[in-house]
Chains A and B, each alone.
Chain A
Amino acid sequence: MIQVRPPVPNQDDAFFWDGARQGKLLLQRCAECGTVRHPPAPMCGTCGSLATDALECSGRGTVHSWILSHHPTEPDEAPRVVVLVDLEEGHRLVSNLVDTSPDEIHNGMAVDVCFVECTTTDGGTITLPQFLPAGRTATDR
Chain B
Amino acid sequence: MSDVPEHRRAVIAGIGHTEFSQHSGRSPLQLAAEASLAAIRDAGLSPADIDGNVTFAMDGNDELAIIRSLGIPELRFSARTRGGGGGACATIQLAAAAVESGHADAVLVYRAFNERSGHRFGQPQVAPNPDPAWNLHKPFGLDTPAKIYALAFQRYMHEHGLTNADFGLYTVVARDWAATNPNAQFYERPITLADHQASRWIVEPILRKLDCCLETDGGVALVVTRAERAADLPSVPVHVLSATSSQIEHGHEMFAYYDQDLGEHQEAAAVGRRMYAEAGLTPGDIDVAMIYENFTPVVFLQLEALGFCGRGEARDFIVEGHIGRGGSLPVNTNGGLLGEGYIHGMNNIVEAVRQLRGTAPNQISGAEHVLVSAGRSGLILGRRP
Contact = CB atoms under 8 A, between A and B. Distances in A.
Interface of A: 4-10, 12-13, 16, 38-39, 45, 64-71, 73-76, 79-80, 82, 84, 91-92, 94-96, 102, 107, 121-122, 126, 128
B203 A8 contact: no
A42 B122 CA distance: 31
Nearest to A4: B139
A94 B144 contact: no
B232 to A, nearest CB: 49
A70 B201 contact: yes
A91 B126 CA distance: 29
A16 B255 CA distance: 18
A68 B258 contact: no
18 contacts: A5-B128, A5-B139, A6-B128, A7-B139, A8-B132, A10-B135, A39-B133, A65-B262, A68-B204, A69-B141, A70-B204, A71-B147, A71-B203, A73-B143, A73-B144, A82-B141, A92-B259, A94-B136
B119 interface: no
Q: Which 5 A-B pairs have the closest CB atoms?
A: A7-B135, A65-B155, A65-B154, A73-B124, A68-B204
Contacts of A4: 139
Contact of B142 (A9, A16, A68, A94): A94
A96 B140 contact: yes
A16 B143 contact: no
A94 B203 contact: no
Contacts of B150: 67
Interface string B112-128: 00000000000011101
Nearest to A8: B128
**Centre residue among B140, B142, B155, B259 by max chain A CB count within 10 A:** B140
B202 A71 contact: yes
A9 to B, nearest CB: 7
B151 A65 contact: yes
Contact of A67 (B125, B154, B258, B259): B154
Given A38-B258, A65-B152, A94 B137 contact: yes
A37 B132 CA distance: 15
Interface residues of B, number: 39
B180 to A, nearest CB: 32
Given A9-B135, A94-B151, A82 B140 contact: yes
B124 to A, nearest CB: 4
B261 to A, nearest CB: 11
B317 interface: no
A16 B136 CA distance: 9
Given A5-B143, A8-B128, A94-B137, 10 more contacts: A6-B139, A7-B138, A13-B136, A67-B203, A70-B202, A71-B146, A82-B140, A91-B258, A96-B140, A126-B139
Given A5-B126, A67-B203, A92-B257, A39 B136 contact: yes
B138 A82 contact: no
B249 interface: yes
A128 B155 CA distance: 24
Contacts of B143: 5, 73, 75
B25 interface: no
Given A6-B128, A71-B147, A94 B140 contact: yes
Nearest to B144: A71
B206 A67 contact: yes
Nearest to A79: B204
Nearest to A38: B258
A68 B151 CA distance: 9
Contacts of B132: 8, 10, 12-13, 39
B147 A7 contact: no
A32 to B, nearest CB: 19
A26 B125 CA distance: 26
Contacts of A38: 136, 258
B139 A70 contact: no
A76 B125 CA distance: 13
**Centre residue among A16, A39, A45 by max chain B CB count within 10 A:** A39
A90 B264 CA distance: 20
Nearest to A126: B139
B147 A82 contact: yes
Nearest to B200: A70
B102 interface: no
**Centre residue among A9, A70, A96 by max chain B CB count within 10 A:** A70
A7 B136 contact: yes
Interface in B179-226: 201-206
B134 interface: yes
